[in-house]
Structure 1
Amino acid sequence: MPLKYQIPTLLVYSRLLLGFLIVVVTLLQPSFYPLYTVVFLTLGLMSDIFDGIIARHLGVSDEKLRRLDSNIDQIFFICAIASIYLQQPVFFKQYIWSILVLILFEVAIYMVSFIKFRKEVATHSLGAKIWTLFLFALLVQVTLTGQSQILFWIVFWLGLLTRAEIIAIILVLKQWQNDVPSLKQAIRIRKGLTIQNNRFFNG
C-alpha cells in the first residue's frame, strides 16, 4: 500500500504517542511543562480532526480504522486528563462528583454497546465531536490556570446530552455501525434508509 494511504493510520497512532508524552512531561516536570502539555493536546486534537478527513478523501475510512480511532481517542484523553489531574489536583477535587457522573455516563456508553453488539462504540457523532472541542478548551484552561467555571459546566451538561444521544443511537441501531452522525440518522438507518451526507462528517 502506498505511504499516502497509511497517513490516517499514522495520524491515529501519533495521538497515542502524544498521550504518552503528556504523561512524561507531567511526571518529569521540565521547565514550562504546562505549555508542553497544551502543545501536545493541540497536536492531538489536530490529528483527531484530520485523520478522518484524510481517510475519507483517500477512500480508506473503514471499520477497522474507525474502531482504532475510537480506542486511541480514549487512551489519549485518559492520559491527558490523568496528567492534568496530577498538575492541577485542586480543580478536580472541587468538581469531583460532577466529573464522576461524566465518567459513569462514558462507561455506560461502552457497557450498552458491548452488551448489545459485543463491540466498543465508534459512532463518532457530531454532538460528540462538538463536545470534544469544548473539552479540549477546558483542558487547556485548567492546565494553564488551574480553574474553570462557566466552561466546565458547559462541558458537563453538553457531555451528558451527547452521551445520552450516543446511548440512544446504540439502542436504535439494529446492527453495530460506525460513523453515525446523530440519533436522527440512526433512525434513518433503522428504517433502511441511507445516511444523509455531511461534508464535514461523511461527505
Structure 2
Amino acid sequence: MKKLPYILIAARFILAPIILCLAYFKDIEAKFLIVALMYFGLLTDIFDGIIARKVGVSSEKLRRLDSQTDLIFWLSLGFASYFLNPELIKNEWQGILLLFVMEALCYGISIWKFGKETCTHALMSKMWGLSLLLAFTYLIGFQETGWAFYLTIGLGLVSHIDVILIIVILPKWQFDVPSCYHAWKIKNGKQRKKTIFFN
C-alpha cells in the first residue's frame, strides 16, 4: 500500500504523452477516450493523496512529485484542446494567457522566497481542478467553451491569488496549506488539524 500513491502519480504522468498523441493525430473518436483518460487521471490525483495520508507516506518528496505531475497532466490536456480545436483556443487567448501568467507568478515568487516551487495543494486549487475537468470536458468532448470555460478562468484567478498570498504569508516553505487564512494561522504559531481527505 505504501507504494500505491507513487504508482498512481506515475500512471497520471504516463497519461500525459498518451493524451497528446491521441489529440495530435486528430482522430474524431479519440476525443472520447481523452475525456475518459482525463477523468481517470483526476481519480488518481484524488486517491494518491488520500492513500498517502492514510498509510503515513505523505512526505515532502511525494507531495512535490504530485504537484509537478499535476502540472504536466493538465498542460497535456491544454495542448490536446489546442490540437483538436485550435480556433476555439485562439479566440480565448486572453484568459488562457492570464492563467499562464498567474501560474508563472506562483512559481517565481515561491522560488524567489524559498528556493522551491509551490506545493500548497490549497482548497481553492482543488476547486479550480474540478472546474478544469468541466471546461476540458466541454472543450474536448463537445468543442465549445461557454460558461464552463469562463468559470475556470475566474476560479483560476482566485486560486492563484490565494496561493500567492500563502507563499507571501508563510514564514518558511511548507506543503499542504489549505488557504491563505491557514497560512496566517501558521505564521502566528497555530497548528491546524490535518485530515485524511484533504491535507
Q: Which residue identity lines up with residue 25 of structure 1 in the other structure?
A: L
Q: Is the 8 A contact 2:135 2:145 kept in 1?
A: yes
2:118 pairs with 1:116: no
Choose the corresponding residue for 1:39, options 18, 36, 39: 36
Structure 1 length-normalised TM: 0.95
Q: Is the 8 A contact 1:8 1:55 kept in 2?
A: yes
> What's 1:91 paired with?
88
Choose the corresponding residue for 1:181, options 178, 183, 186: 178
Q: Is the 8 A contact 2:139 2:145 kept in 1?
A: yes
What is the CA–CA distance in structure 1 between the aligned matches of 2:48 and 2:94, rounded to whole Å? 34
What is the CA–CA distance in structure 2 between the aligned matches of 1:55 and 1:102, rounded to whole Å? 29
What is the CA–CA distance in structure 2 between the aligned matches of 1:81 and 1:23, rounded to whole Å? 9
Unaligned runs of 5+ in 1: none
Worse overlay, 192-201 or 83-92: 192-201
Unaligned runs of 5+ in 2: none
SS at match of 1:5: coil
> What's 1:150 paired with?
147
Structure 2 length-normalised TM: 0.96
Choose the corresponding residue for 1:62, options 59, 64, 75: 59
> What's 2:6 paired with?
9
Choose the corresponding residue for 2:193, options 190, 193, 196: 196
> What's 2:15 paired with?
18
Cα 1:108–1:195 change in 2 (3 A) is same
Structure 1 residues 99-110: aligned runs within 5 Å:
99-110=96-107
How far the C-alpha of 1:27 sits from its partner, in A, is 2.3
Choose the corresponding residue for 1:80, options 70, 77, 81: 77
> What's 1:27 paired with?
24
> What's 2:49 paired with?
52
Q: Is the 8 A contact 1:70 1:122 kept in 2?
A: yes
How far the C-alpha of 1:174 sits from its partner, in A, is 0.7
Cα 1:31–1:96 change in 2 (3 A) is closer
What is the CA–CA distance in structure 1 between the aligned matches of 2:155 and 2:28, rounded to whole Å? 34
SS at match of 2:2: helix
How far the C-alpha of 1:30 sits from its partner, in A, is 4.1
Please give the root-mean-square deviation of Cα atoms over the aligned residues, in Å: 1.1
How far the C-alpha of 1:20 sits from its partner, in A, is 1.1
What is the CA–CA distance in structure 2 between the aligned matches of 1:78 and 1:93, rounded to whole Å? 16
Deviant stretches of 4+, over 4 Å = none
> What's 2:129 paired with?
132
Q: Deviations over 1:112-153 (max 9, x none)?
A: 000000101100000100110011110011101211211111
How far the C-alpha of 1:102 sits from its partner, in A, is 1.1
Q: Is the 8 A contact 2:53 2:196 kept in 1?
A: no
